[in-house]
């Protein structure tokens, strides 16, 4: 994944976009390959949610094991972004914007934004909990 991200990092500027021309977009669609590899990596790493009889890699600091599994968090955080990349969704949003119906778009998108924020809050919570424990020299095993 890192090796695929290096060319994306080096070409993520306007100069590279002009230099590569029509190939720039095709190159930057490698991000979908990176996302899929990350999804597979987390699924294998966490045992597809059945590792050690738990639904995830561990119970988490608050005992809510399913919400602390990285695979579920990745899916919840990126479902909204992937949904917005679908051509039919993009056309629907463009049609509603042309009809000046931004409120309808907001009502359709709000649950996905809430799901993403909810999943990201668990990521931040877990990192803070484990980080404070590590600073106190009492690391938590995951």
pLDDT digits 0-9 by tens, 108-122: 999 989 988 888 887
pTM (predicted TM-score): 0.61
pLDDT digits 0-9 by tens, 59-112: 555 666 666 677 777 788 888 888 888 999 999 999 999 999 999 999 999 998
Concatenated DSSP letters of 15-54:
HHHHHHTTHHHHHHTHHHHHHHHHHHHHHHHTGGGTGGGS
Residues found in the chain: 142
């Amino acid at each position: 994944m890192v090796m695929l991200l290096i060319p994306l990092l080096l070409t993520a500027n306007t100069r590279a976009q002009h230099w590569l021309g029509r190939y720039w977009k095709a190159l930057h669609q490698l991000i979908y390959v990176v996302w899929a590899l990350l999804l597979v990596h987390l699924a294998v790493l966490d045992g597809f949610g059945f590792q050690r009889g738990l639904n995830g890699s561990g119970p988490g600091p608050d005992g809510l094991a399913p919400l602390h599994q990285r695979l579920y968090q990745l899916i919840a955080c990126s479902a909204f972004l992937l949904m917005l990349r679908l051509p039919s969704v993009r056309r629907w949003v463009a049609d509603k914007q042309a009809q000046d119906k931004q409120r309808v778009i907001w009502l359709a998108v709000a649950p996905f934004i809430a799901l993403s924020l909810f999943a990201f809050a668990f990521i931040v919570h877990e990192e803070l909990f484990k980080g404070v424990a590590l600073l106190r020299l009492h690391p938590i095993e995951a």
